[in-house]
A = this chain, B = another copy of it.
Amino acid sequence: MAPATELTVGQVAMRSGVAVSALHFYEARGLIRSHRTSGNQRRYGRDVLRRVAIIKVAQEVGISLAEIGEALASLPEGRTPTRDDWNLLSTAWRDGLDHKIAQLKKLRDGLTDCIGCGCMSIDKCPLRNKGDRLAREGTGARRLIAP
Binding site for B on A (CB under 8 A): 15-17, 46, 49-50, 53-54, 56-58, 60-62, 81-83, 86-87, 89-90, 93-94, 97-98, 100-101, 103-109, 111-112, 114-116, 119-120, 122-123, 125, 127-128, 130-132, 134-135
Q: How far is the CA of A53 from the CA of B127 in the complex (A)?
A: 8
Residues of B within 8 A of A128 (CB): 53, 56-57
Report chain B residues within 8 Å CB of A61: 61-62, 100, 103-104, 107
Complex CA distance for A16 and B61, rounded to whole angstroms: 24
| Chain B contacts for A57, CB-based, 8 A | 103, 106-107, 127-128, 130-131
Which residues does chain B contribute within 8 Å of A53, judged by CB atoms? 119, 122, 125, 127-128, 131
- Cα–Cα distance between A46 and B61 once the two chains are bound (Å): 31
By a CB distance below 8 angstroms, the chain B residues around A83 are 112, 115-116
Tell me, in angstroms, the Cα distance from A132 to B15 when the chains sit together. Answer: 11
The 10 closest A-B pairs by CB, nearest first: A62-B62, A97-B108, A53-B128, A90-B111, A49-B122, A83-B115, A87-B112, A86-B112, A101-B104, A86-B111
CB pair B111–A89 under 8 Å, yes or no, is: yes
Q: Which residues of chain B come closer than 8 Å to A130, judged between CB atoms?
A: 57
**Cα-based distance from A87 to B130 in the complex (angstroms):** 21
